[in-house]
Amino acid sequence: MKHETRWPVVIATLAVLALYQALPEHLTLGPSWGLSIVVLSLLVLSIISHYVGKAGLNSLLGTAMLVLITVAEVWALALLISGLPTKRQGPGTLLRSAVSLWFSNVLVCACWYWRLDAGGPYRRASREAHSEGAFLFPQMTLPPDLKAAHKSWKPGFVDYLFLAFNTSTAFSPTDAPVLSRWAKLVMMVQSSISLGTLAILAARAINIL
């Protein structure tokens, strides 16, 4: 069984941590370096577990990382929005925080989709082709004569990143309809966070410049 490359996911996780460090200290869940140390430790353990063939442990560690990052992101957004009426943050802080949270939201949700779709990366790799899952990718709907040329196609992290980016910009899926209830719930959360950062925070910051 040929495993899907994991480096795009590792790079995305490191990018999220870098964006988290860009947030003001009063918006982070504890010291900003605290989350980074915990997530980096889990990331190293997940990489090791993957290379030694511990699929269950790898999935558990990966899910734990995403849960921690998601909680920290929602916490930061809640604090940022709660401070709007009292104008505790200046326009520069609002803009910087909004940009960091928006990009973090895209990367984190892309990781969630990659981690959960069709049973996760291990189960997707065990199949000859991708014919079922939470999302109906265009390659899955090709006519039989064209599908033969893509019979071994499987979604990779870039496909889920594209899906997450579209969801954050259009507040809805674009090229890939959503079939699963869990995916619909995650997309609702992603769209809500994107709406909060773009429509509320950025608009507020520009208004007081």
Q: What are the pLDDT digits (tens) for 158-173?
A: 999 999 999 888 877 7
Tell me the C-alpha distance between 50 and 59, whole Å. Answer: 9
Cα-Cα-Cα-Cα dihedral sign, residues 102, 105, 106, 107: positive
Tell me the C-alpha distance between 24 and 172, whole Å. Answer: 30
Q: Looking at residue 162, what is its pLDDT? A: 94
Q: Looking at residue 3, what is its pLDDT? A: 67
pLDDT over threshold 70, residue 209:
no
Q: Where are the alpha helices (DSSP H) in the chain?
A: 7-21, 32-51, 55-82, 91-116, 121-126, 144-147, 157-170, 181-195, 203-207
**What 8-state DSSP symbol labels residue 85?**
T
Q: At what angle do helices 55-82 and 181-195 cross, to 10 degrees?
A: 30
Could you tell me what percent of the chain has a pLDDT over 70? 87
pLDDT band of 108, cuts 50, 70, 90: very high
pLDDT over threshold 60, residue 123:
yes
Residues 15-36: what's their mean pLDDT?
A: 87
pLDDT band of 5, cuts 50, 70, 90: confident
pLDDT over threshold 90, residue 113:
yes
Give this prediction's pTM.
0.88
Q: Looking at residue 138, what is its pLDDT? A: 83
Q: Looking at residue 17, what is its pLDDT? A: 94
Tell me the C-alpha distance between 56 and 61, whole Å. Answer: 9
